[in-house]
Amino acid sequence: MKVVTVVGARPQFIKASAVSREFPKRNVEEVIVHTGQHYDANMSDIFFKELGIPTPRYNFEIRSSRHGEMTGRMLESIETVLLGEKPDWVLIYGDTNSTLAGALAAAKLHIPIAHVEAGLRSFNRAMPEEVNRIMADHLSSILFSPTELGRKNLISEGIPSTKISVVGDVMYDVSQYYGSLANKNKILLQRLGLEEKKFILLTCHRQENTDNIDRLKAIFLGLNDVAEKMPVVCPIHPRTKKYLLDAEWFKPSKELKLIDPIGYLDMVTLEHTSALIATDSGGVQKEAFFYEVPCVTLRDETEWEELIEGGWNILVPPLSKEVVRDGVLSRLNRMGKKIFPYGDGKASQAIVDAMVRGV
């Protein structure tokens, strides 16, 4: 059996690392296609090395541009690969432009599609990710949902239950595999001048925040205020950096540490050892929960409602710097309940088993 895996962004590399380890155990040939959506070496290359993912056979280096242009170029390139490779499955992850392009290319060629992390919904169609995930789900032959809620969302949209498999979350698989290793890396904390459980980790990359000057100002001015009380470290996404570099309104506090993008193990170290995580990332919300760290999500909604209900996460829409500052400070030392919504750490095995069976 041959599988073409389409990836392009940091969260997909992480998820793929768990599933890719399972393919050789079932004598499955995997052909990895990297669209190049994340092209910075610290956002891309280092993840393949650290996570032990096989080197992509194809790398299109299709870099940031308008959504339609990027998706169209990816679609054309992926189609060419699929015509040459003739896979039994196309495997896609999450909700990026790479996800949508992979799904469209496979559907046009009548190749079965497997979608990992199916059924997530923010119910906000203004988010490009929401449009991508909905279209990918409705094109897919088998939908691997991480949660029961995801299954219910898919059924409510008319997708047959026979196509849906609740397997748990591959991110949980990854966290169990790498978490203890990353937690031993304290050199990073020393280099950044941080003390364990005495700093806040910030990540910000969503278009809804970076492309809206009022929201961007609320986040960084709010966290600038927070840094006066507790250090804040932010591995800065290239998109966010572009907007902050020449911003006259932004004068970072000494204790708001903006650093270059870092590798996966270094990121997990910061997540493990932080007192709180403030983020607009879906994946980082879950990683915070896996490592039992309180989380503030800087968005109007989240796909991971179970973390809100369990008390591990709250939504703080970045309406003003005061809202962000007070929301973040209110969550310090606030732990959630013991909940187990994401499976048993064997989602990757279930995914590969199902693909091999062809159901």
Q: Which residues are designated catalytic?
A: 205
Residue written as token pair 């919904």: 121
Distance CA 99, CA 10 (A): 13
Are the C-beta atoms of residues 112 and 139 closer than 8 Å to each other?
Answer: no
Return the structure tokens found at 89: 């499955």
Distance CA 144, CA 201 (A): 30
Residue 7: enclosing H or E segment and its boundaries? strand 2-7
Helix ranges restricted to H, the chain: 10-22, 45-51, 67-85, 97-108, 128-139, 148-156, 170-183, 187-192, 207-210, 213-226, 238-244, 264-273, 282-290, 305-309, 321-330, 347-357
The CA–CA distances, whole Å, from 56 to 16, 36, 43, 185, 238 equal 12, 11, 15, 28, 23
Amino acid identity, residue 61? E
Residue written as token pair 């993840």: 47
Are the C-beta atoms of residues 12 and 1 closer than 8 Å to each other?
Answer: no
Hey, which residues does 3 pair with through a beta bridge? 30, 89
Distance CA 238, CA 33 (A): 22
Return the structure tokens found at 61: 């280096």
Return the structure tokens found at 231: 């250090």
Hey, which residues does 315 pair with through a beta bridge? 297
Phi, psi of 64 (to 5 degrees): -50, 130
